[in-house]
Amino acid sequence: MAAVAVAFALCVAVAGCWYYLTPEYSRVGYTPLQPVSYSHKVHAGELGIDCRYCHFGVEQSPYANIPDGALCMNCHNQVLSDDTRIVALKERIESGDPIEWTRVHRNPDYVFFNHAVHVNRGVGCVECHGKVSQMDSVMHAKSLSMGSCLACHRNPERSLRPLDRVYDPEWQPAGPEEQAVVGQTLVRELGIRTSIYCSTCHR
């Protein structure tokens, strides 16, 4: 009996660890269908609209806001205004029905995170979200596990980019030497001191 119980407990433990290490747990690949047709590939990619036009909170606040439908109409009152997708969007806005976008990225409640701190210190959107500008529907492209946060907090200079390239999904260092120069210069000039103390992220 005891042997069976121990074997069973072991199986459960292995299954638990297994699940913990899988993409399902880290949500990588998660691509929910959104209630309104909107493509980052068209807007941020082909048209090259800056991320901050819509996510205007990202530089000043912990949160990158999701825009409401009225902002779409800044352009779509003229552009494609007869398109069925835009007509549906307009009707929705006029009825006062807020668009309920499905969240893609979400930290557990016990994690403290702040967008502004990162994007104002040379951490690009791509670093954590992947190439959103090539996605029709936003996919959870990268793991945002504790390990991924710590990997950068231990060696931030390996992932920093020039401040004017934070919103540019195409920027890449020419090679490891350029990355080292860019990273070390930023760390020095901005006095970057990333922390791996538990209380930085769990307050």
* Binding residues for ligand HEC restricted to 115-134, rule: CB under 6 A: 115, 117-119, 121, 123, 125, 127-129, 132-133
Q: What residues between 140 and 169 interact with ligand HEC by CB under 6 A?
A: 144-146, 148-150, 152-153, 156, 159, 167, 169
Q: In angstroms, what is the minimal distance from the CB of 16 to ligand HEC?
A: 12
Residue 28 interacting with ligand HEC (CB under 6 A) = no
179 part of the interface to ligand HEC, by CB under 6 A: no
**Structure token digits, residue 1:** 């009996």
Residue 201 contacts ligand HEC per CB under 6 A: yes
Is residue 9 near ligand HEC by the rule CB under 6 A? Answer: no
The residues in 62-101 that bind ligand HEC, with binding defined as CB under 6 A, are 63-64, 66-67, 71-72, 74-76, 79-80, 85, 89, 101
The Cα 56–Cα 63 span in angstroms is 10
Structural contact between residues 168 and 122, judged by C-beta atoms closer than 8 angstroms: no
Torsion of CA 114, 116, 121, 122, to 10 degrees: 100
Going by C-alpha positions, the residue among 39, 37, 57 that lies closest to residue 49 is 39
Residue bearing tokens 């390239």: 165
